[in-house]
Structure 1
């Protein structure tokens, strides 16, 4: 007796390499839209004739809308399938990203960035749910680590790429090029990835009821609280380096680029890293990220020490993210896309508040900003330990 083609397809798994490549490239482009605005702020401020601090709301507006977008758009994957949601979300993100390039002033820029952030939020939870649906469970931890490495490495890639492109062609051109790239990713995923499974677990109840059920899980709540500290400290530290004038233009480029090898190495070492259980990886990674932040706080303004601290900090952020996602997915049942949406919400709520943390403390100097980041990560480590 022969099985139908549809049934055979449902019993096989998507190839890891091509799948993660397509998702990873899109992940870098999507999340780079948050971090790329940091080095572009001086260029936009100069054109609009305002203080650079006023442009912090461009990053914060995107981050807040991105975070809230997860709550509204993330659960769609549980109902309509992650593949379909990813393609539509990337196409919408392409249009709104290109629209940012025509902003006539600061207010319009912030509004367009809010819209951009909201629609971009469709991608991340859908991508995570797609991995769970399509990748062999034995290789899923590696897939999570590589994909999360792509998300987190965009913090550096987005800043370096935006700084280089902005210097060459202006800040508006960066958003035009990004929009074209996002549209290309939508087309790539439409034709290169497998369609959603017909028999995938679905959630038929209202998303808000699912969220409330998930938030009754004490372990999930502790993991969400720990995750909220991760990017708040990371983005706050990078914003603090720039806003306090600690380094000149070339020094900022060097600091941003020097963290990229740490992220790449962590992704390459995914096979070894994932041998450690997800709960233990979370605690260890958060703990060492606090050590990295503490090194920058004690640097005395030395760019070499700050670079060393951010190297360790960046590697640990890459390691912590997938460990938290894996732990959350293991405790969420069929509502994994919704659970990851809540995770993404709290993660990027922290990221959106990072620039404001730097603005609030910049008068006291970078060391105080770095100490605040260290304290946040120490709290996150304790919360992750309690979640075990």
Structure 2
């Protein structure tokens, strides 16, 4: 079985578990007799440890091997999901989500770092783009399957399904990953300390620019997400109503746009090149976010979000690829810190978007976000991508 496919199954399992509890917050709250706001913390209990564990999991992958860490993390994820499915108390269920989030944090970043070890820059972005099919599909299906399974068999059934997916992934990881996947990249130093590994990362002057860019990207793109329902309600006007399914379609359209990008990425790179693709993506996403301030119908908002999702991955996939090249001998550390910055930006986004929305209104906030996204694309291309694209032709001539 190809190693890439095994890694894709592991990444799918991690994404599948991310949004698993969102549709079953109310049934869980009713079962354990807790407030819905408390039950909603199950998603935070997964996502926050996922982000905070990154600075530790990346160096562990560099020290002990990325493939080995992936094997351990996916097996532990399966165990935590299964334990959560039979948890007799809400406290234990919450604890399993915390540990599951930590374990899942060792999957997608190390999978992307492993792709960096196996593929050169000329084909790496395409392969990471293909990996996005597994990641985005897992995140989208996690919510869908959870809702369907809950209606058919109760709230515990989605956790059993997720545990089954993780068990399959663990089986592939432990039984089918070839010995070649455990080989260390050139320049690897066994037993290197965390400080030494991160020192290698920040020896590259692009590191500060890239990590700052991905933090701002997460903040700008995802600050809107919790307020989409409020935006639609404002457009509906006095006495208007918005169905939760309409809000779900608008949010889901962003992921569909990401899937479309993952399919089209080879054509996009051949047609535009990386730098121009990033600029088109950033400006296109900025225009879509600004347009959301004026679109009166929910299905038009969904169309704008679909295009925004497509444009977002034109930029984000390029950032991911650059992260895999910051420090080839400490690639796990570099990509894990990238993921930490990205999730931190996602966490900060709603905290900033909400006060702005209430202070200056949706229109000004969305237009400002659109302008900032376009500027982010320009800064990223000039500070990170342009430098690499200038160097690569010289290296080829040499």
Q: Same fold (TM over 0.5)?
A: yes
Q: 2: CA distance between counterparts of 1:187 and 1:223?
A: 35
CA offsets 1:158-181 (integer angstroms, 9 cap, x no match): 333333333333333222211111
Report the counterpart of residue 295 of structure 1 in structure 2.
291
| Greater Cα offset, 77-86 or 234-243 | 234-243
Offset, 1:185: 0.5
| Greater Cα offset, 346-355 or 370-379 | 370-379
Report the counterpart of residue 48 of structure 2 in structure 1.
64
Q: 2: CA distance between counterparts of 1:203 and 1:317?
A: 36
Q: CA 1:379 to 1:163, structure 2 compared with 1: closer, same or farther past 3 Å?
A: farther
Q: How does 1:1-40 map to 2 (within 5 A)?
A: 18-40=2-24
CA contact (8 A) 1:59 1:355 kept: no
Q: 2: CA distance between counterparts of 1:357 and 1:33?
A: 27
CA contact (8 A) 1:236 1:373 kept: no
Instruction: Find out whether 1:222 has 2:203 as its counterpart.
Output: no
Among 87, 99, 116, which residue is 1:115 paired with?
Answer: 99
Tell me the secondary structure at the aligned position of residue 324 of structure 2: helix
Task: Provide structure 1 residue ranges, at least 5 long, that are not aligned to the other structure.
Answer: 1-14
Report the counterpart of residue 390 of structure 2 in structure 1.
none
Among 378, 384, 387, which residue is 2:380 paired with?
Answer: 384
Report the counterpart of residue 312 of structure 1 in structure 2.
307
| Greater Cα offset, 58-67 or 337-346 | 58-67
Q: 2: CA distance between counterparts of 1:225 and 1:52?
A: 35
CA contact (8 A) 1:279 1:324 kept: no
Offset, 1:56: 4.6
Q: CA 1:215 to 1:188, structure 2 compared with 1: closer, same or farther past 3 Å?
A: same
Report the counterpart of residue 228 of structure 2 in structure 1.
241
RMSD between superposed Cα atoms in Å: 3.3
Larger radius of gyration, structure 1 or 2? Answer: 2
CA offsets 1:286-345 (integer angstroms, 9 cap, x no match): 332222322333334x21122012101211233323211222223323111111111111
Task: Provide structure 2 residue ranges, at least 5 long, that are not aligned to the other structure.
Answer: 234-241, 385-398
Q: 1: CA distance between counterparts of 2:199 and 2:44?
A: 26
TM-score normalised by length of structure 1: 0.81
CA offsets 1:116-152 (integer angstroms, 9 cap, x no match): 1111111122212221233466532211111134334
Instruction: Find out whether 1:101 has 2:85 as its counterpart.
Output: yes
Q: How does 1:180-259 map to 2 (within 5 A)?
A: 180-195=164-179, 196-198=181-183, 200-201=185-186, 202-204=188-190, 205-215=192-202, 217-242=204-229, 246=233, 247-259=242-254
CA offsets 1:39-87 (integer angstroms, 9 cap, x no match): 3334434545555444453333322211121111122222222221111
CA contact (8 A) 1:62 1:352 kept: no
Q: How does 1:48-59 map to 2 (within 5 A)?
A: 48=32, 52-59=36-43
| Greater Cα offset, 328-337 or 194-203 | 194-203
Q: How many residue pairs get matched?
A: 371
Report the counterpart of residue 270 of structure 1 in structure 2.
265
Q: 2: CA distance between counterparts of 1:307 and 1:268?
A: 20
TM-score normalised by length of structure 2: 0.79
Offset, 1:91: 0.5
